[in-house]
Structure 1
Amino acid sequence: MKTPFALIVDDEPDIIELLEITLHRMGVETRSAGTASGARRLLQERTFDLCLTDLKLPDGDGLELVELIQSSDAPHPVAVITAHGNMDTAITAMKKGAFDFVSKPVDLPALRQLVANALKFKDHASAKDRRMRHTLLGESQLMRDIRSKIAKLARSQAPVHIHGESGAGKELVARLIHQQSTRSDKSFVAINCGAIPHELMESEFFGHKKGSFTGAVGDKKGLFQAADGGTLFLDEIADLPPSLQVKLLRAIQEKKIRPVGEQQEIPVDVRLLSATHRNLAEMVQNGSFRQDLFYRINVIELNVPPLRERTADVPALAEHILVRLTGQTQTHKPEISPAALDALQRYRFPGNIRELENILERALALYDGKCIGVDDLNLPVGIAETHLSEESRYDPGRGSLEDYLEAIERRAILHALEENRWNKTAAAKQLGLTFRSFRYRLKKLELDD
């Protein structure tokens, strides 16, 4: 087995010696440089499997080395060494392609874990099938770009924030980032932050000790410990209360957690992915989401496009969903008429892929057993035509603008209620409304019976 080589770049001899001793004990050969120019010279002389670089060098900037290595023909993981508490610089480095960061004074267990994660890339790149076309379906340019970004993001430990409408496939994207990464042999833990009662959140996230509160009849591991070594996906992170936002921020920065009732912090090795359908930047502006936490989780942002922006992918998605719903093979799946496919491609899909699944599941219960037609789809009247015909053609002769907008709002709410089987909480979430706002609109439109 080939001995791995690491490049260490730091102008402090004591730090270089500490890193060399630690890596040699892990079976890693090292070369070291005290300057950026010395590091560039070593990079020209041989190939490395890992680089550890300080960000402040006598003749340059560690960020320049990050960019140089990532732009080379054979990029390898680069981890940056930062002064304690200097997270802003570490975030900048990860945005430029750094694999991870370690803070001074160097925590040796955390350093060993970082090195072990980075060295997995040697075998992982050749052994892993990075093609995702059979999981993240679609040949539109938008989906090709998403698959390309997922492959790149899988090579980093940087936090990723996935933004997109409800039902667009954010959790699927998060799972693929995990599956394509070196953490794929460890756990992927997903949690919807909006589904946990606020009073239980700290215990769910960080665990608790027996007797730490009423009902704590035993020790319990939290989500961070369950995902240790793997990936933690926080869906609808915008729903976190302020008190937990503070604790989550510390867990990300220190890479340690403290269970409820525990005196000591516990180190955890977790890749954090998050998602929401809400606009976090606006929430930061209005004070409902912490700005410092936003910058920590939004190191890299990935936007998942709504289905209406990639209607060319609808036929392939529909075919895949029908095969899955019926358990049939490609050759024996139910057929969809050209007219029905055309109607689907013109439909706006406010509920995205999740709504397409619901529509096809309903169609399977209605069709004649031979071919799914337009009537079997049972698409909402008017919305299945064109978006513009419903929402942009206002005729003053038919009433006031207020009445016109109220009619559109009424149709959208009724559609969301029908799609969610009249579950008001789910319908409010699909529309991007708080339950209180949704309830107010129901009352205003006299739909609250």
Structure 2
Amino acid sequence: MTFTNPSSVLIVDDEAGIRTALRVSFARNGWAVETASGVNEATQLLENKDFQLVVSDMRMPDGDGLDVMRSARKMSSSTAVILLTAFGNVPDAVQAMRSGAFDYLTKPVSFEQLEEAASRVMRASAAAPRADHSEARSIVGRAPQLLRSLERARAAATTDADVLVEAESGTGKELLARFIHDASDRSRKPFIAVNCAAVPEHLLESELFGHARGAFTGATTAKAGKFELANGGTLLLDEIGDMPLNLQPKLLRALQEREFERLGETRSVKVDIRVIATTNVNLSAMVEEGKFRSDLYYRLAVIPLTLPALRDRAGDVELLAHYFVDKFSAKGRGPAQRVSEEFIERLNAHHWPGNVRELGNFMRRVCSLHPGVELDGSCFDQEFQGRSKVASVPASVPMFNPGAPIRQLERAHLESTLTMTQGNRTQAAEMLGISIRTMRNRIREYGLPPRRYA
């Protein structure tokens, strides 16, 4: 890797040997290099010179890498920061990414890893000199279950193995997929996502594999599918549990051989991709029920990952609330809002069936409708508007009785949930842990009036 336009990098580490090694490596690749032995020295250099990149150790005698990053951001918002942390110290890594680090690497770090990360800094700067790199990487939390998932995801990123993420709706499955992509050798290549539940069944094969001109009515031009568009990078198959059974054999072959045919063609197309599949349903249970192919399941789940529900992440509701307040309240209109203990208590008392997505949407609404004031219990109560209480079940819905048919109970539960969400199918689907397509199918199956539920 050699850069035609030399750029400046600041190396911050209290170990002289590491500073020297990194200085030589970066200088050899065309960078103008400065070094600092600690936070104070780094701060002085940052106050007097602009740097495109700062590479800093996380733990030093006079402070840490986050202090260095704050100094760098104070001087220039466009300076990218890569933090070096001890192997397996996941809380450091999560805090680094939450605070806006461009990347973090675990020691011992190889020069190849640093060069690749530096290359991405150069590409990001060329594409968007003022880009905030933290937004795409904001996996916020400190709960042990979440940190274990992130550590496992980071390990998965170093391989090309396919990944299956099973977790409830709203927990951040796509964000985790992007985290894996960004941390992998494929980060410079495309990240392509397709929602298997959102695409009509008769169009999903074309969406995935493309089609030739005239392959079906309306195919007036040839089209490349998501598999081709993701070549060299990562393909996210979101809500894979909604993949139709008749399409699963073709998907299995594409995964096994990394080749496929467009609709209407016999010529095979080869691709080099990593596949990450996500689902909010229990795929192994679907396999037992004959609703999902076992061979496809095992092919997808080479590396299985999970994300904990928000209710199982002790302490993260408060952390996320402050994160969302910082994100939503200012927007160039002044300092971020304050949050009262009473407001946090209200948040912690709620179950959050929609997980982080529900919490984020609620915080956006509160910050938008109560700008410039301290968020307290009254703000919470006004914007929740009784949603924290279970709505009364309509008289037409049969109540639970031992021995009642399962279909009758499921229909009642579905209708009461839709009533609670005032007919919002998407919100109801998230609360029930099913996809929007499954929700539509259940409404039709149980004969519920479709026009009532938008």
The letter for the 1-side match of 2:442 is: S
The structure-2 alpha-carbon separation of the partners of 1:383 and 1:411, relative to structure 1 and needing over 3 Å to count, comes to farther
Give the distance between the partners of 2:236 and 2:311, measured in 1 at CA. 26
Alignment of 1:185-264 (within 5 A): 185-264=188-267
Q: Which residue of 2 aligns with 1:379?
A: 384
Matched, 1:301 2:266: no
The structure-2 alpha-carbon separation of the partners of 1:345 and 1:288, relative to structure 1 and needing over 3 Å to count, comes to same
Matched, 1:359 2:348: no
Q: Cα RMSD between the aligned structures?
A: 3.4
SS in structure 1 at match of 2:221: coil
Q: 1:437 aligns with which of 425, 436, 442?
A: 442
Q: Is the 8 A contact 2:418 2:424 kept in 1?
A: no
Q: 1:124 aligns with which of 113, 117, 122?
A: 113
The Cα offsets for residues 122-151 of structure 1, whole Å up to 9 and x where unpaired, read as 723664499999621112212221221121
Q: 1:321 aligns with which of 314, 324, 331?
A: 324
Give the distance between the partners of 1:138 and 1:432, measured in 2 at CA. 22
The Cα offsets for residues 274-311 of structure 1, whole Å up to 9 and x where unpaired, read as 00101101110111101110010011110011111114
The Cα offsets for residues 366-390 of structure 1, whole Å up to 9 and x where unpaired, read as 4363111223223364847xxxxx9
Q: 2:150 aligns with which of 135, 147, 150?
A: 147
The structure-2 alpha-carbon separation of the partners of 1:329 and 1:301, relative to structure 1 and needing over 3 Å to count, comes to farther
The letter for the 1-side match of 2:203 is: L
Gaps spanning 5+ residues in structure 2: where? 2-86, 88-109, 121-132, 391-398, 403-408
In the alignment of these two chains, the number of paired residues is 311
C-alpha displacement of 1:336: 1.5
Alignment of 1:44-83 (within 5 A): none
Q: Is the 8 A contact 2:418 2:453 kept in 1?
A: no
Gaps spanning 5+ residues in structure 1: where? 2-73, 75-120, 385-389, 391-399
SS in structure 1 at match of 2:345: helix
The Cα offsets for residues 353-408 of structure 1, whole Å up to 9 and x where unpaired, read as 11001211221244363111223223364847xxxxx9xxxxxxxxx8649x9998
SS in structure 1 at match of 2:384: coil
Normalised by the length of structure 1, the TM-score is: 0.62
The letter for the 2-side match of 1:235 is: D
Q: Which residue of 2 aligns with 1:33?
A: none
C-alpha displacement of 1:348: 0.8
The more displaced of 361-370 and 134-143 is 361-370
The Cα offsets for residues 185-212 of structure 1, whole Å up to 9 and x where unpaired, read as 0000011101111111111111111222
Q: Which residue of 1 aligns with 2:175?
A: 172
Q: Which residue of 2 aligns with 1:6?
A: none
Q: Is the 8 A contact 1:428 1:438 kept in 2?
A: no
Give the distance between the partners of 1:201 and 1:439, measured in 2 at CA. 21
Q: 1:337 aligns with which of 325, 337, 340?
A: 340
The structure-2 alpha-carbon separation of the partners of 1:275 and 1:201, relative to structure 1 and needing over 3 Å to count, comes to same
The more displaced of 363-372 and 331-340 is 363-372
SS in structure 2 at match of 1:144: helix
Normalised by the length of structure 2, the TM-score is: 0.61
The structure-2 alpha-carbon separation of the partners of 1:438 and 1:426, relative to structure 1 and needing over 3 Å to count, comes to farther
